[in-house]
Amino acid sequence: MVKAIVGANWGDEGKGKVTDLLAEHSDVVIRFQGGANAGHTIINNYGRFALHILPSGIFYSHITNIIGNGVALDIVKLVTELQSIIDQGVPAPNLIISERAQILMPYHVLQDAYEEERLGGKAFGSTKSGIAPFYSDKYAKTGIQVCDLYDEARLRERLERAVDVKNILFEHLYHKPKLDVEQLYQQLLEYRELIRPYVGDAVGFVHQAIREGKTILMEGQLGSMKDPDLGIFPMTTSSHTLAGFGCVGAAVPPTAVEDVICVTKAYSSSVGSASEPFVSELTGQAGDELRRRGGDKGEFGATTGRPRRVGWFDAVATRYGCMVQGATQVALTCLDVLGYLDEIPVCVGYEIDGVVTDRFPTTPSLMRAKPVFHTLPGWKCDVRGITDYDALPAQAKAYVEFLEQQIGVPITIVSTGPERHENCMRTR
């Protein structure tokens, strides 16, 4: 049985926490897209962790964690992260790196930075982790797969071919130093040894696990709004953030995915640049207060430390975000954060050119959308750590149920704090 845990919004919805919770009763956790450009915050018995590339099942010794073929594999970041969790007392995890995953190369990171520099004020606000150049190369078929590391003649040939193109770009478009193939080749041979114990046939492993009836979690990075096809293009990422892509990036058959758990926060947050549309944004002092109180340590990016933009819950975006994910259930996180408010607006419509709609539009219309709010009473008390849904104040339950009705998908997990067991489980 395969479950996907994915984001309904702009990322940072709390997927790491939900994956860590559900992993307790799972056998396999797979990352299927993205790279080390976003982080999952997990707080458990071992401490507080910001995972960037490792799957969120690594804290359990009964779990096999997989870096799927859809991931942008930054080997140095992976090895550093692995070492840092081991240093913090976590037992060495079971990890399989798909031999079909492609390697995020040092020149992808350089190209990302050069391109942002070239774009100047028109930059996309990239995290400069090399993600866009990585996926561009994958689809241009100049990427290097992990399996190539173990065939030296092939590796050298593939590297030379890739570097030829990069050097034209670096020299003539960006006016930067050319790359040295030999140095890169030697670096790849070092990388090869670093990951050798983990490299394996993830595709075969996953299919065998499905045949054996194992419980498999596919863990998404970012959220629906960042999908290059169905998100807010071009303020998107470069890999598909939708559960459906798990069938490619984790090599899971579509018919095996039984459950899609969409994670959304009880308010909105987005780490994107100021030019991105964010209809329900809250600015000024009220925004600063929500940002300070949000998440477990304020709303600041787990990878970049950037202050996140914050806003009220956006039912239009979230309904759409859950729809395109194919959500079967919703996990609502950070309910505890809102306990200080007298009243809580929820964005239930967009006004575009004088017409109100509840349909999530394409980017040009979204840029002109203004929020239409429906305001609910706050509960004015601390609900942190409550695990019995019925023990929540009536206003908090009314808020959850209003969101549920707006989204149109059952909210089955209400998270009341950043720690693993701070949740109210609701039956469907």
> Which residues of this protein are in contact with ligand GDP, per CB under 6 A?
7, 11-17, 38-41, 43, 295-296, 302, 333-334, 336-337, 415-418
Examine the residue annotation and report whether 40 is marked as an active-site residue of this protein: yes
Examine the residue annotation and report whether 374 is marked as an active-site residue of this protein: no
Nearer to ligand GDP, 69 or 423 (CB): 423
Nearer to ligand GDP, 148 or 419 (CB): 419
To ligand GDP, the closest distance from the beta carbon of 224 in angstroms equals 12
Residue type, 87: D
DSSP state of 300: B
To ligand GDP, the closest distance from the beta carbon of 162 in angstroms equals 30
| 105-110 contacts at long range (C-beta below 8 A, 24 or more positions apart) | 105/130, 105/134, 105/144, 105/162, 105/184, 106/184, 106/187, 107/133, 107/162, 107/163, 107/166, 107/170, 107/179, 107/184, 108/72, 108/133, 108/134, 108/137, 110/170, 110/176
Active-site pick, 27, 40, 52, 112: 40
Cβ within 8 Å of residue 113, ≥6 positions away: 128
Q: Taking each helix axis from N to C terminus, what angle separates 106-119 and 131-139, rounded to the nearest 10 degrees?
A: 110
Across the strands, what pairs with 376?
344
The span from the CA of 308 to the CA of 279, in Å, is 15
Nearer to ligand GDP, 7 or 371 (CB): 7
To ligand GDP, the closest distance from the beta carbon of 190 in angstroms equals 30
To ligand GDP, the closest distance from the beta carbon of 207 in angstroms equals 27
CA 178 to chain centre: 33
* H-type alpha helices, 246-362: 246-249, 284-293, 315-325
Nearer to ligand GDP, 209 or 310 (CB): 310
Query: Which secondary-structure segment (H or E) carries 28?
Result: strand 28-31
SS3 (DSSP) at 90: coil
**For residue 195, which phi and psi values (nearest 5 degrees)?**
-100, -5
To ligand GDP, the closest distance from the beta carbon of 11 in angstroms equals 6
Side-chain-facing half-sphere of 102: CA atoms under 13 Å: 26
Q: Are strands 370-377 and 343-352 parallel, antiparallel or unpaired?
A: antiparallel
To ligand GDP, the closest distance from the beta carbon of 325 in angstroms equals 13
Nearer to ligand GDP, 112 or 219 (CB): 219
Nearer to ligand GDP, 43 or 73 (CB): 43
Catalytic residues: 12, 40
